[in-house]
Amino acid sequence: MVTRPAPQLRRSGCLSVARFEAMASPCEVLVDTPDADEARRVGRVVADEVARIERKFSRYRDDSVVAAIQAARGAAFEVDAETARLLDYGQELYALSAGAFDLTCGVLRRVWTFDGSDRVASEQEVDALKPLMGWSKVSWDGRRIRLPLGMQIDFGGIGKEYAADRALMRARRHSNSPILVNLGGDLCCSGPRRGGAAWQIGVDTEGQGEAGSMLLLQSGALATSGDANRYLLRDGVRYSHVLDARTGWPVEHAAHAVTVAAPSCIEAGSLATLALLNGAAAERFLALERVPHWVAR
Amino acid sequence: MQLKQRRIGARLRRASERVLEQRRSLDVDPALAIAGVMAAPAAMAAAQPGEWELNSAILFYSEADRVSAIEPVFQASRYFNNDRIFSAKLVVDALTGASANGAVPSQDFQTFTRPSGRGSFTVAPGEVPLDDTFRDTRLALSSSWAQPLAQNLRGSFGLNISKEYDYLSLGASSVLDWDFNKKNTTLTLGLGYAQDQVSPEGDIPTALAPQSYARGNSADEAESNYALQDGSDDAERAMRDSSESKSVIDLLLGVTQVIDRRSLLQVNYSLSLSDGYLTDPFKVVSVVDGSSGTPLSQIYENRPDSRAKHSVFVRGKRAIGDDDVLDLSYRYLFDDWGMTSHTVDMRYRWGLGEWFLQPHLRYYMQSATDFYQGFLIDGQPLPAEVSADYRLADMQALTAGIEVGRTAGPWGNWRVALEYYRQTPDEPGGKPGALAGLELTPAVDAVMVRFNYDFKL
């Protein structure tokens, strides 16, 4: 059994911040309360819920649902209700993006590593993976999934946002204080701070740990998608880490970062991802959706 | 990625709620919020502190053969931390042209003076007398400050000043919005006070006094400043103080209820109490001969010195499909002048990707005030209060229009509206002699074009 370190608690004024690492990201929970014990409890609940979701949907663990679906080796596998809801959601995003977003495109990671180098995949490498991709090859009836042998399901595109929403929901059952959950930049809050003030969020579109502009969040969620430290550069061409599942290639003219505000983190994250997939038309897409957004290019 | 031009927001919202096992949230549909609704959309990041939002508009209004107006509007709002907003608005109203002054048409030439006694105009036989020296520019400046006062309680405080050549209005207002029931219900309380002063050129006419009056056989003669040259007693007697004032108190009580994600209902009750000089110094009533219908003289009108108006307003909005919004409203108004009115208004916002089209229809009908009379019969006792202003008569009005706009794209956020307006006052009854064949309150046709452009700095 792996033991995780307890979240680190830091206090400034009435605001307590619990920090922990999860999903390969720095995470924090802000609790607007003078009661340090309450803040510690809330931090614990959030960290536990995030860990549960990470364990359950991780593609790196043998005991995850993702591993179990694959282990069925092409046979039908009945999933639990939570997994079913996430598969439904992924299917909806696949439809809304006309196939550009696809839960099965995780295999592309074998040929694309966005580490700032110039190792751009070859056409042959990408084409060789195409038979192992495509939600249309998956049979899903809302209860049982049949995943062809060699294919993978990857919740990476929505898992962190989903975890933030879920963790906040749990935390709210334990505390009436204003809470903000931030999982590596995908964040959601329970409402305004004490006295009605907004949460002040710095926007770090460069991934340098420095906030550029400041956003105010009264309620709902913010999510940022982008390629701050994840891209390839060859012959002066920047290859964004945003892959179009239909081609297996990075989206052309993708924005560096897109931040979207929405009632839930999963909705904000999905809109940000879809905006990136729209390449040069990201701003138009977001203006059309009429959601508050900030695009860095 | 080639996304369809249709918005995906509503479908994505439903999918997000399902994956998070949320009951259908009562957050309003984004489409409703966009269509300019009262209830703020839950869960939206506010505009950023330090950011200016600028709204500009220009309106052209033209009544056939009567008043035309150009009205530029400019509003700037600045956002501060903690949801505090300052905004300032400037409206310029440039009116030119003629407006009906209440007198009846006649078979003979007639001429009238303005309250000033300076400047006059002539009327062709059978035409409704219009005061075509009417020309004015109004300048209105207002500012407001809005901020949260407590959790779920917002307040806004405003000051406004409006100035015309002969009119000054100063006002202050305050509005409180209290959200409860998980922000699905908003209670609004508004209070306003205004103090207005009218100082027409040449002083305020004495109520019911005869207007200085000249008769001529030719337009040239009639146009000479007869009244002034003559220095007639009538003209002097007819003028009184240099200015008059009135005060207006407005009270608003409203409830906005989110019915479900896709519908909203708003109910408002408002009370407006005016006190002071409510008469229009530019309007007259004709005194006509009881058998021939010939106008004999004009007297200045007189209205009661107080008015209490009550109105009840009900409005429903519903999002339809992904991008459409139906907006229906009804207003019932009654006052202690004996007027009642009904207004039914319908708009349908038809979303076409980044474009939208919005047809608009409005029907209005009112009953006359107790003291409205199209004319007075010579020799009959003079009523204490009387006005022949067709705006106080029984009437119907219809507005039909269409607005088209673009909410995204290279030119930002703009829209253009074209509206046609037709007002049909009822003819006064019992027209004697020659008046019977004349139209005292002809229909008014007007066309309005408005262009809006919004941007941020």
- How far is residue A251's CA from residue A274's CA, in Å, rounded to a whole number? 11
- State phi, psi for A233 to the nearest 5 degrees: -135, 115
| Residue B359 in tokens | 């047809």
Which amino acid would we find at residue B83?
A: D
Question: How many contiguous H segments (helices) and E segments (strands) does chain B have?
Answer: 5, 24
- How far is residue A184's CA from residue A168's CA, in Å, rounded to a whole number? 15
Of B18, B49, B152, the CB nearest to A85: B18
Structure-derived torsion over alpha carbons of residues B429, B435, B436, B438, reported in degrees to the nearest 10: -100
Q: Do B408 and A217 touch (CB under 8 A)?
A: no
| Residue B222 in tokens | 């009639």
Question: How many contiguous H segments (helices) and E segments (strands) does chain A have?
Answer: 7, 17
- Which domains occur in chain B, in start order? 9-456 (2.40.160.40)
Q: Do B83 and A218 touch (CB under 8 A)?
A: yes
- Which domains occur in chain A, in start order? 8-57+158-296 (3.10.520.10)
Rg (CA), chain B: 26
- What pLDDT does B43 receive? 32
Tracing tokens 């004999």 back to the chain, one arrives at B296
State the complex-level ipTM.
0.84
Question: CB contact, 8 Å: B233 with chain A?
Answer: no
- What pLDDT does B127 receive? 73
A224, A207 contact by CB (below 8 A): no
- How far is residue B234's CA from residue B210's CA, in Å, rounded to a whole number? 7
Residue ranges of A 211-270 with Cβ closer than 8 A to chain B = 213-222, 244, 246, 251, 261-264, 266-267, 270
**pLDDT tens per residue across span A25-65:** 889 999 998 888 899 999 999 999 999 999 999 888 888 99
Q: Where are the beta strands (DSSP E) in A128-279?
A: 139-140, 144-146, 179-183, 186-189, 199-202, 214-217, 220-226, 231-234, 237-240, 243-244, 249-250, 257-262
- How far is residue B370's CA from residue B303's CA, in Å, rounded to a whole number? 10
- What pLDDT does B457 receive? 75
Task: With H, G, I as helix, E, B as strand and everything else as coil, classify residue B47.
Answer: coil
- Which residues contact residue B239 at a Cβ distance below 8 angstroms, ignoring those fewer than 6 apart? B115, B117, B202, B203, B204, B205, B206
Distance from CA of A225 to the nearest CA of B (A): 16
SS percent in chain A: helix, strand, coil, step 5: 35, 25, 40
Tens of pLDDT along chain A (297 residues) come to: 445 566 776 666 678 889 999 998 889 999 998 888 899 999 999 999 999 999 999 888 888 999 999 999 989 999 999 999 999 999 999 999 999 999 999 888 888 888 778 888 888 999 998 999 999 999 999 999 999 999 999 998 899 999 999 999 999 988 989 999 999 889 999 988 887 778 888 877 665 556 567 788 888 999 998 876 677 777 777 787 888 999 999 998 888 889 999 999 999 999 999 999 999 999 988 888 888 888 888
* B-chain residues near A215 (CB < 8 A): 45, 48
DSSP class of residue B145 equals: E
Tens of pLDDT along chain B (457 residues) come to: 555 545 787 788 888 888 888 755 445 555 555 433 333 333 333 456 677 888 899 999 888 877 888 899 999 988 887 778 899 999 998 877 777 787 887 666 556 655 555 556 666 667 777 776 666 788 999 999 998 888 789 899 999 999 988 889 999 999 999 988 877 888 999 999 999 998 877 677 888 888 764 333 333 333 333 333 344 455 555 565 678 899 999 999 999 888 887 888 999 999 999 999 999 888 889 999 888 888 888 888 999 999 999 999 999 999 888 778 899 999 999 999 999 999 999 999 998 877 889 999 999 999 999 999 999 998 889 899 999 998 999 999 999 999 999 876 667 688 999 999 999 999 988 888 888 888 888 898 999 999 999 887 7
The rounded Cα A258 to chain-centroid distance in angstroms is 13
Cα–Cα distances in Å, from B68 out to B60, B87, B97, B164, B181? 8, 29, 6, 16, 47
Pairing of strands A243-244, A179-183: unpaired
How far is the first Cα of chain A from the last one, in angstroms, to the nearest whole number? 44
Q: CA-based angle A111:A22:A166, to the nearest 5?
A: 105
Q: Do B82 and A244 touch (CB under 8 A)?
A: no
Provide long-range contacts, Cβ within 8 A and 24+ apart, for B217-220. B217/B109, B218/B109, B219/B109, B219/B122
- How far is residue B106's CA from residue B438's CA, in Å, rounded to a whole number? 8
**pLDDT tens per residue across span A114-152:** 877 888 888 899 999 899 999 999 999 999 999 999 999
- Of all helices (H) and strands (E), which one includes residue B203? none
- CA proximity to A178, closest of A42, A19, A6, A27: A42
Of A166, A261, A263, the CB nearest to B27: A263
- Which residues contact residue B10 at a Cβ distance below 8 angstroms, ignoring those fewer than 6 apart? B29, B30, B31, B319, B322
Residue ranges of A 94-153 with Cβ closer than 8 A to chain B = 96-98, 100
DSSP, residue by residue, A267-290: HHHHHHHHHHHTGGGHHHHHHHHT
| Residue B272 in tokens | 């407006």
CA atoms within 13 A on the CB side of A228: 16
- What pLDDT does A219 receive? 86
- How far is residue A7's CA from residue A49's CA, in Å, rounded to a whole number? 13
| Alpha-helical runs (H) found in chain A | 36-57, 65-71, 81-96, 123-129, 159-174, 265-277, 282-289
- What pLDDT does B107 receive? 63
| Residue B214 in tokens | 């000249």
